[in-house]
A and B are shown apart, each in its own frame.
Chain A
Amino acid sequence: MDPQHLNLIYLIIAAAAATFLTRVGGYILITQMKQIPPRLEAALNAVPAAVLTTLVAPAFVYGGLDVTIAMFVAFAVALGLNLSTLRMLVIGWVVVMVIRHVVM
């Protein structure tokens, strides 16, 4: 195995360990700790939205006009009709395919 591929394996193992740590950590903490400070709790509460947004916003701005339109339409329709993530994905995919293969 070449070193670069070996690094990927290590990376996956580290990611798996980090994930397992989150899944067992709460159990360990709850049996030790009485209360989480409110500001820490607010910060933890913000983690998923804050991290995931950083993967969305740059694609929206720099992904190209077709991607921007597809994302906007998927967002607007999914929000308006309260659709699931899967349906939102389908809408985004259809819009980008139509732009790429029919319009352009």
Chain B
Amino acid sequence: MTKNDFWEGVRGGFPIMLAASPFGALFGALAVDNGFTIADAVFMSATVYAGASQMVGIELFGNHVQPWLVVLSVFAVNFRHVLYSASIAKYVRHFTFGQKFLAFFLLVDPQYAETEKRGERGLPITFAWYLGFGLVIYIPWIINTLVGAIFGQMIGDPKAIGLDVLLPVYFMGLVMGFRKRDRFLPIVTVSGLASVAGMHFVGSPWHVSIGALAGILLAACLPPTNQAPAPTGVQKEA
């Protein structure tokens, strides 16, 4: 039974592993291009295990941004995981402490989405299923990072093979992934303008915090909308 659950998880995670593989290799190559050794790149994939934030981390590190700002940015990019772990709390309550620890470590976007989907359908979220699904993504992620890092170290000029365009386009894709959220356009516009202004008037590392802060402050200051995902009960009663 437990063994079956594990393999069902492995089968479920397999397509996601395939889709994530190019990004693992891309991270490895770009990490080396930004001054990481092969071992550093693999170490980061194995410990942080969060694709987009790893890319953000190496990009900022390559630009000699202050360490606290790099960590803060990684934290900010991964902040959505707070919502994930809150949301799946009801499904993993029966895990032991050690199982929870491992489960939260492996909680990447597809892991969250699949757990939520499975729970909604009324299927049991066993630790065996969760682990099978998680490991078939986690282990290849590390191996692909290694492959990409080795490949990246063999490349002479990253511009000649177009590596430098990949990160901005990748981040652009990530931004577009949030386009259904409230106030998306004003936030992106303000953050974009503020970051360009920050780059121009202050300098490279600071444009990240200036731009991010501008967008976040705007979102906090704008009046709440009706279509907000979790409308405030207070207003409805008033």
Contact = CB atoms under 8 A, between A and B. Distances in A.
Contacts of B208: 51, 54-55
Interface residues of B, number: 100
A20 B105 contact: yes
Contacts, number: 275
B162 A57 contact: no
Contacts of B226: none
B78 interface: yes
Nearest to A98: B162
Interface string A5-26: 1011111111110111111111
A53 B218 CA distance: 14
A11 to B, nearest CB: 5
Interface of B is mostly: helix
Contacts of B16: none
A30 interface: yes
A79 B173 CA distance: 9
Interface of B: 19, 22-23, 26, 36-37, 40, 43-44, 47-50, 52-53, 56-57, 59, 61, 67, 70-89, 92, 100-101, 104-105, 107, 159-162, 164-178, 181-184, 187-188, 191-196, 198-199, 207-208, 210-222, 224, 228-230, 232-233
27 contacts: A15-B53, A15-B71, A16-B49, A18-B78, A19-B78, A19-B81, A20-B105, A21-B75, A22-B80, A22-B82, A23-B78, A24-B85, A26-B89, A36-B230, A42-B222, A45-B229, A51-B77, A52-B77, A52-B175, A54-B198, A54-B212, A57-B191, A58-B199, A59-B168, A62-B196, A63-B165, A67-B165
Given A27-B85, A44-B82, 9 more contacts: A12-B57, A23-B104, A25-B82, A27-B92, A47-B76, A52-B52, A56-B192, A57-B211, A89-B166
> Nearest 7 A-B pairs (CB), nearest first?
A50-B215, A26-B86, A46-B219, A85-B173, A54-B211, A26-B85, A92-B169
Interface of A: 5, 7-16, 18-27, 29-31, 35-36, 38-63, 66-67, 70-71, 74-75, 78-79, 84-86, 88-89, 92-93, 96-97, 100
